[in-house]
Chain A
Amino acid sequence: MSVDATLSFEEAMEKYDPVLGFEVHVELNTKTKMFSSAPNVFGDEPNTNVNEVDLGMPGVLPVVNKAAVESSIKIGLALNCKIAETCRFARKNYFYPDTPKNFQTSQYDEPIAYDGYLDIELEDGTVFRVEIERAHMEEDAGKLTHMGGASGRIQGADYSLVDYNRSGVPLVEIVTKPIEGAGSRAPELAKAYVAAVREIVKNLGVSDAKMERGNVRCDANVSLRPHGQERFGIRSETKNVNSLRAVEHAVRYEIQRHAAVLDSGQPIIQETRHWHEDTRSTTSGREKSDADDYRYFPEPDLVPVVASREWVEELRATLPEPPAERRKRLQADWGYSDLEFRDVVNAGVMDSIEETIAAGASADVARKWWMGEIVGRAKAADVDPAELGVTPQVIVELNKLIEDGKINNKMATQVLDGVLAGEGAPAEIVEKRGLAVVSDDGPLLEAIDAALAAQPDVAEKIRGGKLQAIGAIVGGVMKATRGQADAGRVRELILAKLGVEG
């Protein structure tokens, strides 16, 4: 495998202007498939979530899943698209074992949704509008595993094994118009766009939206043209870039590769590229050729889908608040600064904080816990903060224990340890672990006497009005009580004992 030459990203940007385009496939989370009643379930025993329709048996009749159409319309609406009054399915003909029918049922010239846009907010707050060409309905293909050969890749494989469980899973393919003007922010925009689409379909509840499971898959088109030239350059299409980070890296890499090819005076070959996460580079797939002549024609086994305006409006009324608007509202409600809010979003704890506030905590308390102890522990355990096992109720209870003076902050972290160890609710753990703050003055007064006796010079200073010296005595008392005293109360008692006004 030869390594392609690349230019530095900076040099590529000096010389060329990138144009992007994306095809994002979203797997819907309907209970059944697009055209058959077989279950749409990930990860089961191969070839068991199928029936005669998915296996392309002769003489079978596909029937459209109404829920999948509704999900598709919702996606179209969330992408600010027009919804077609009437649209049809088409057969996309090709021979490959991932489809047993020798065609994929898709939509061709009549997508269900078209002419939309999505406003993408970049990290520094810049808003970039991405125009949506279309969103159409189709079905997923089966999964091939290439066996033999050295690398598990198709090159050198001896044979392939096919599982059709994924065959017929409803897909919506979202296609952008060419994206111009992103300049050096193209890789960042690419990542932000795919992230936004993923967030939208997740928020709509129409997809599980897990990229690692292939619920959201991205093909990234990249071309370069000299600055000032209007005509687009020749593009490459990098397939199946399946993480947000990879989308950013793949676009960046392709820009650098294209720039090197153009600089050497060679033409770009219009081709499919494969992304390799290990080397963070792409390799040539195949050139676009006759094989892309799919001979689309209207699917004779399916009748048109007519989306009455009443139906579309009914569906529009069910749409949740768009994620970007929701973020703006939450930030305003919580009174976080831009920086604080961005950190919360990046840490993936916005939903958790919202739930915690709903459970009764203040916005500041919720942020303190989620961004402090919980994020730290989640990172150490390598899990998502929300999956650590801390419920909003736990935080509310912990905070109440602190506010009531029953425990201090240090003890609260020990109580949290107990919660995560499955020892029960915070109050129970305080009891079981004997963590309560010592509030009975008797033992405190004894400890204070001992501390004063141990440091008579300090006691003298305090009597003389040097109140800052009191820290040494408080420290001695805290040590003697193993941190279980309320420091504020200790201070009051010391002052009273020495007859000094605090």
Chain B
Amino acid sequence: MAAINRDDVAHLARLAHIEMSAEELDRMAGELAVIVDSVKTVSEAAGDDVPATSHPIPLSNVFREDVVGHTFTAEQSLSGAPDAYEGRFKVPAILDED
């Protein structure tokens, strides 16, 4: 059984900006442990001869030439913004980071 305790879940929830109640933290600690264990079975199937992979298709070097394509107007860019001012996105001041 993977060691995922309540504090780990609380930490992850804070990093991910997810608000969770005490009951949810307790429940998720148990459920996440099961999920992690399930995913771990993959490493049992893959031997040392199987390289770690981050992509399902064995491709590499998918590149784009350095040629300018389409852009948005400021109006288009801001069309989905909750708030905007003088062509820019307006966001609350966030003090605890830089």
Contacts and interface: CB of A to CB of B under 8 A. Distances in A.
Interface of A: 30-32, 36-39, 45-52, 55, 63-69, 86, 88, 93-97, 144-146, 148-149, 154-155, 157-164, 239, 272, 274, 285-286, 290-291, 293, 295, 298-300, 302-306
A104 to B, nearest CB: 13
B95 A64 contact: no
B66 A31 contact: yes
Given A47-B78, A154-B95, A290-B15, 15 more contacts: A30-B66, A31-B66, A39-B71, A47-B88, A50-B77, A55-B77, A66-B65, A145-B88, A161-B88, A161-B89, A161-B90, A163-B87, A285-B98, A286-B98, A299-B54
B45 interface: no
Given A47-B78, A49-B71, A290-B11, A86 B93 contact: no
A38 B71 contact: yes
Contacts of B78: 47
A406 B54 CA distance: 75
Contact of B70 (A30, A51, A86, A295): A51
A48 B93 contact: no
A305 B62 CA distance: 8
Contacts of A274: 98
B89 A162 contact: yes
A65 B91 contact: no
Contacts of B15: 93, 290, 293, 295
Interface string B1-38: 00000000001001101000000000000000000000
B89 A97 contact: yes
A66 B64 contact: yes
Interface in B50-98: 54-55, 57, 59-74, 77-78, 85-98
Given A161-B88, A286-B96, A39 B77 contact: no
Contacts of A286: 96-98
A286 B94 CA distance: 13
Given A55-B72, A164-B77, A63 B66 contact: no
